[in-house]
Amino acid sequence: MNRGYTLERYRRIIGELRETVPDVAVTTDIIVGFPGESAADFDDTMKALAEFRFDGIFSFRYSPREGTAAYAMSDAVADEEKARRLVELQALQREITEACNARQVGREVEVLVEGPSRRDPGAWKGRTRANRIVNFPAAGSIVAGDFVRVRITGAGFLSLEGRVAAGDQLAERHG
């Protein structure tokens, strides 16, 4: 894919980032089935995914786009194989994301309130500084745009559950 970096350089950058900002959330984009991607290449991608343990990924099957350099490349990966690889990749990432989210349980985090929760009209939804979705029961005079301290009480694949932290209902109001 004509990337201008090596795995070792990427490993060093991620290591330095996590050392400097221990709670940083790291995400990436991954395309499977790029023309010429061998089974060994895909295995290397899976090993890198297991090593780097991204908080989340955006993953896609390669699809040709007219006008791109890859459009004319030969050695296409069969659609069935691209689909299989994507399912395998996403299953591993799901395990990793669930573990990353589970590590948040018990922590108190600052949440930017976005608005009512879609699942529960009596609850709020917001995002942490690491862009994790948090659902928590409505309390007091919280409105969208507020920053509140929330203690994380549960974790799933797509979101966290929490309760407004005692004594610090409203961290900051914007707007």
Long-range contacts of 37-41 (CB under 8 A, 24+ apart): 37/62, 37/77
CATH number at residue 112: 2.40.50.140
pLDDT digits (tens, 9 = 90+) for 74-111: 778 999 999 999 999 999 999 999 999 999 999 999 99
* Together in a domain, 86 and 71: yes
Q: How confident is residue 69, by pLDDT bands cut at 50, 70 and 90?
A: confident
pLDDT digits (tens, 9 = 90+) for 152-175: 999 999 999 999 998 655 555 555
Is there a domain that residue 173 lies in?
no
User: Please, how many CA atoms are within 13 Å of residue 153, restricted to the half-sphere of its CB?
Assistant: 10
The dihedrals phi and psi of 147, each to the nearest 5 degrees, come to: -105, 125
Which of 102, 135, 155 represents a domain boundary (last residue)?
Answer: 102
Long-range contacts of 8-16 (CB under 8 A, 24+ apart): 11/51, 11/52, 14/52
* Together in a domain, 34 and 116: no
Which of 102, 126, 141 represents a domain boundary (last residue)?
Answer: 102
Lowest mean pLDDT among 40-54, 105-119, 156-170: 156-170
pLDDT digits (tens, 9 = 90+) for 145-154: 999 999 999 9
Range of the domain at 22: 7-102
Question: What pLDDT score was predicted for residue 72?
Answer: 81
Task: Name which residue leads in pLDDT, 68 or 148.
Answer: 148
Residue 119 scores a pLDDT above 90? no
Number of domains within the chain: 2
Over residues 137-147, mean pLDDT: 89
Residue 6 scores a pLDDT above 60? yes
Q: How confident is residue 120, by pLDDT bands cut at 50, 70 and 90?
A: confident
Question: What pLDDT score was predicted for residue 22?
Answer: 86
Question: What pLDDT score was predicted for residue 170?
Answer: 54
